Structure 1
Amino acid sequence: MSVRILALVGSLRAGSHNRQLAEAAVKHAPEGVTIELFEGLADIPFYNEDVDVEGSVPAEAARLREAAGQADGFLLFTPEYNGTIPAVLKNAIDWLSRPYGAGALSGKPVAVVGTAFGQYGGVWAQDETRKAVGIAGATVLEDAKLAIASSVVRFAETHPADDAEVVADLLKVLEQFGSAGTAAA
């Protein structure tokens, strides 16, 4: 069995360490696991029920929902902005939570990981993200955690894909999808 995981990165910065962490997950995904890095979160308008009606959904939001609908699970990468989740990632969760009770996240496993400059690696943002996707109907993989502290120092000269400890930790997170019944045994 193959597993399709959609990766969403909550940082829009070109040199984002969270984007690099997502690239490492794509590069080192185990056999049978495909990770698609979604491009375009910056282009999705803020969620608004007035435009979330059949025939009026913005094309960028519809593209996100289509990609999410084809995914077996989600891997969310979040930095920490002022102690919480970045708006672009929260907006994606809002779009994916609708229609209420039947959104693209409903019942699908989600793991939240990330890296941040601070000493705790963005755990507050990760906790807030887990809370939001859980309320949105996803199955939060509570044991799939990875918070990498001091990203500016840690990844100053080494891409996360070339950091053996980071790769091993990412693989442990991906194993949790198997425990959730989405990956091949």
Structure 2
Amino acid sequence: MAALTVYASESSVPAAAGEQEGVRRTRVVLVHPASGAQIVDEHLRVELPAPAPWPRLADVLVGKGEGERCAAELAMCHPGALVVAVYRGRDGWIRFASEGCSRSLSTRRSPSPSWATWASLAHAWLLSGLPVAEFGSAPMRLLLGQSPLPCSNRPSSVRAASASAERERPAAS
């Protein structure tokens, strides 16, 4: 696969008394290397610990922990999150849940970008239909804080589909 261009930007979600730390509205645009097609994903990412109700509203949930079992337990406690990531230092585990199946990956990487950013990239990757098995190994050109498209004030159709309460969630493996 040729290098996939990825634009990622985020903003804090305002709270009653200012910005809510660890709660981000995240926008990821994947540009397909062959066709140039742009896939836009806007989602809510929450880094733990975070006060209620934010963790149960998250599309992407990130917390400190270690191993696939920890990621699976966190996903079971927060079934609304399509992607759950746990990390300890340079090691991280990302759990994908979609269409009745799940997969955990362990990735060893450099400190940049953050595990939270990796989890958001995983969410966009999953919703774009790219093979989950290639996430983390496929060549990517990551441009942080940039977007080729203007931001909208309404959720994208991808975001709305990911937040559906009717979507079945897989059982832990």
Q: TM-score, normalised by structure 1?
A: 0.29
User: Counting helix residues as a fraction of each chain, which structure ranks higher?
Assistant: 1
